[in-house]
Structures are given as structure tokens and as C-alpha cells.
């Protein structure tokens, strides 16, 4: 009986140790990251931009931005942008939304244009901007030559701007859903990346770039300050050069891919499955 009791005690001790080791292993497994969608706005919270969480810089000399019921991807409201100057002006309306400073951001928005919309006389019509007020690059999402495009203004590793065209023209009969990603490079490395999806298809991809410099005082090839500590922390919707009307809805920003939406209001169902096989992919 003493031998049996000793063996039983040894078995209990061994089992207890195994359970403890298993618990320690489970606790050591990394949990989910803190990736998040910072905002997903459907402009249903009132007739003013302030009520919907945006800073409104007001109506200027040209163009107009307003919340409208003319069109909507979800709910009954969207942002209507009226372009009335094909040559553009610095005195134009804009709305701004801030978010937590990030070196890796994802953006998703629904967009459509009026039939016969005319882009600016310089072959560009601005859609929105991402920036850090303390340095470059500045990222512009635009219509360039009539197609969705990403412009990188003042990158560290290039003397001019990167213009990355998607090859996809905006629709005047239905909503497009455009997704954008930028990953700033590690300071001192060339591992930055930009991607754009249109309606779920990857249409632009640029990798292996140095958008920021190795130090906080780095001056890039374009002569701009490209500090190593640069982050993106605001998004601006612009009205500048063009003729016609555009609409925005379901504007979202986060540090993880948000995916296209089927509607249903902010916080509704999103699809974050990987995109389909790239069509007409442009890699630079």
C-alpha cells in the first residue's frame, strides 16, 4: 500500500506539473494585435460635418461641400462635392478628420461622379489627402487622367512625385469602393509600400520604397524634410479643380484592412477577405 500511495502521489505531482507547463505555454502565445478601425462614418448623424465628427473649414471662393440626400451607399446621406472651377484655386472648401498617429494606415471610401464630370485642366482632380504637418511625404488620392490614382508628394528616395495610376475610371452610375494602404518604411530601410484596391481588385502596388529618411532631420531628394518620426494623423476631403459633382460615403480609416462594405451604416458588416486576383496591376 505504501508503494501504491507513493506512485499515486508521483502521478498527481507529474500531472500537476504538466498542467502548469501547458498553462504557461498557452499564456505565452501572442494574443490578437491591437489593430483597429479608427472610424467608419456614414454621415447619418446630422446635417453638419461637425455633427458627423469632421472639422469644417467652410465654404470658400469656389466649389462646395455639403451633406446631401441626393445619393447614398448606406442610409440616406452622403457628402456631395460641387466642382465649379476647372482651373482650381487654393480658396476651396475642405473637411478634416483626425485619427491616432500611425505609420501604417488603411482607408476605405465609396465614391461616384456625375455624368460628364470634367477633371481639372492640369489633368488632376483631388479626392483626399493624408499627411503629417511636420514633414513629407504627403499622400494624395486623386483622379489623374480620368482614373483613380495615388500621388506621393516629396518622398525621401525620389526627386519628384510618384504617380501611381489604377487604370480604373470612376463610375457615374453606381458606387465604387476604393481602398488604400500606406506602410511607411523603417527608418534607414527601403521597405515602404502603397496599395490601392478598387471594388476589391488590387490595382496599384508599390513596394521597396523609402518614403521617410533615417533621422528626424533627413532631407530627401526633392529637398523636403522627411523625418524618421513622421506619422499620418489626418485625412482631408478636398474640392479644388474640376467641373461637376462627386459623392463620398462610408469613409473609414484604420491600421488594419477595413474591406469593402455592403452598407447598413457605420459599424455594419464589412468584408476583410483577401482581394481577388489582381487585374491590370501596376507595380513600380
Over residues 171-226, the pLDDT tens digits come to 999 999 999 999 999 999 999 999 999 999 999 999 999 999 999 999 999 999 99
Query: Is residue 160 pLDDT above 60, yes or no?
Result: yes
Q: What is the DSSP letter of 52?
A: G
Residue 188 has what pLDDT? 97
**pLDDT above 90 coverage of the chain, percent:** 70
Q: Which residues pair with 148 in a beta bridge?
A: 143
Longest dimension (CA), the chain: 99
Contact 56, 50 (CB under 8 A): yes
Residue 124 has what pLDDT? 94
Contact 236, 65 (CB under 8 A): no
Please give the Cα distance from 226 to 220 (Å, whole number): 6
Contacts of 215-222 with CB under 8 Å at 24 or more apart are 215/187, 218/156, 220/136, 220/154, 220/155, 220/156, 220/157, 220/158, 221/155, 221/156, 221/157, 221/158, 221/159, 222/136, 222/154, 222/155, 222/158, 222/159, 222/160, 222/161
Q: What is the dihedral of CA 142, 276, 278, 251, to 10 degrees?
A: 10
Please give the Cα distance from 152 to 222 (Å, whole number): 11
Over residues 67-107, the pLDDT tens digits come to 999 999 999 999 999 999 898 766 678 999 999 999 999 99
202-241: string of b/e by CB count within 10 Å (b at 16+)?
A: bbbbbeebbbbbbeeebebebebbbbbebbbbbbbbbbbb
Quick check: helix, strand or coil at residue 60? coil
Residue 267 has what pLDDT? 36
Amino acid at each position: 500500500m505504501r508503494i501504491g500511495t507513493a506512485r499515486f502521489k508521483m502521478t498527481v505531482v507529474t500531472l500537476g506539473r504538466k498542467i502548469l507547463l501547458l498553462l504557461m505555454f498557452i499564456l505565452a502565445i501572442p494574443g490578437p494585435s491591437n489593430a483597429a478601425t479608427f472610424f467608419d462614418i456614414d454621415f447619418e448623424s446630422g446635417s453638419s460635418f461637425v455633427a458627423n465628427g469632421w472639422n469644417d473649414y467652410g465654404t470658400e471662393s469656389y466649389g462646395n461641400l455639403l451633406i446631401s440626400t441626393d445619393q447614398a451607399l448606406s442610409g440616406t446621406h452622403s457628402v456631395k462635392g460641387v466642382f465649379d472651377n476647372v482651373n482650381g484655386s487654393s480658396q476651396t472648401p475642405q473637411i478634416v478628420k483626425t485619427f491616432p498617429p500611425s505609420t501604417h494606415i488603411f482607408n476605405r471610401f465609396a465614391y461616384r461622379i456625375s455624368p460628364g464630370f470634367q477633371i481639372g485642366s492640369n489633368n488632376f482632380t483631388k479626392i483626399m489627402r493624408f499627411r503629417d504637418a511636420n514633414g513629407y511625404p504627403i499622400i494624395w488620392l486623386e483622379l489623374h487622367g480620368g482614373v483613380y490614382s495615388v500621388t506621393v508628394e516629396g518622398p525621401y528616395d525620389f526627386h519628384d512625385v510618384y504617380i501611381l495610376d489604377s487604370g480604373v475610371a470612376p463610375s457615374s452610375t453606381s458606387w465604387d469602393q476604393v481602398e488604400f494602404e500606406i506602410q511607411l518604411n523603417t527608418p534607414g530601410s527601403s521597405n515602404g509600400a502603397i496599395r490601392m484596391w478598387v471594388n476589391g481588385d488590387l490595382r496599384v502596388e508599390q513596394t521597396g520604397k523609402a518614403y521617410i529618411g533615417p533621422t528626424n532631420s533627413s532631407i530627401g531628394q526633392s529637398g523636403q524634410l522627411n523625418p524618421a518620426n513622421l506619422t499620418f494623423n489626418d485625412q482631408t476631403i478636398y474640392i479644388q479643380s474640376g467641373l461637376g459633382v462627386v459623392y463620398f460615403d462610408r469613409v473609414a480609416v484604420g491600421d488594419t484592412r477595413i474591406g469593402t462594405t455592403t452598407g447598413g451604416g457605420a459599424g455594419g458588416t464589412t468584408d476583410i477577405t483577401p482581394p481577388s486576383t489582381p487585374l491590370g496591376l501596376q507595380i513600380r
